[in-house]
Amino acid sequence: MDKLRRVLSGQDDNEELGLTAQVLDASSLSYSTRVKWFVICFAGGILCSILGSALLFLPGGIKLFAVFYTIGNLAALASTCFLMGPLKQLKRMFEPTRLIATIVMLLCLVLTLCAVFWWHKKGLAIIFCILQFLTFCFLHCLV
């Protein structure tokens, strides 16, 4: 359990102690606070995604679907920042094995909203939402 806490708080055995580590230690949250906010953000992300999916079937609901689905994915992504810290999250997202998935996911987040609000292409928005889901899963499943 102690090892899990060290890994989730970003304190690996191999990590160098420097100014960055001292700044992170000074601003870090307690383990229980990190877990609580992870659960809150993750549950909020799931709730937004489900709500967006339900709103899809209303007249003109494609805009609400795209917004809520994108907010849900951003909240789920932010939830993992609470577990490992934002800098470590960004470092892991931009590792060579995850770089393409990260770029595609961030691009799809923006393109989903562009497709709905500026281009008015409902089908394209759905495709970008599906790509958001696939790249989000791919991003978190890579080891």
pLDDT by position in tens, the chain (length 143): 565 566 555 565 554 444 445 444 435 788 889 999 999 999 999 999 999 999 988 888 899 999 999 999 999 989 988 888 889 889 988 999 889 989 999 999 999 999 999 999 989 999 999 999 898 888 777 65
Report, in this order, helix, strand and coil percent for the chain, each rounded to 5. Answer: 80, 0, 20
Residue 100's SS3 state is helix
**pTM of the shown model:** 0.74
Residue with tokens 């709905």: 116
The pLDDT value given to residue 15: 47
CA distance 10 to 25: 9
Angle at alpha carbon of residue 46, lines to 138 and 4, rounded to 5°: 65
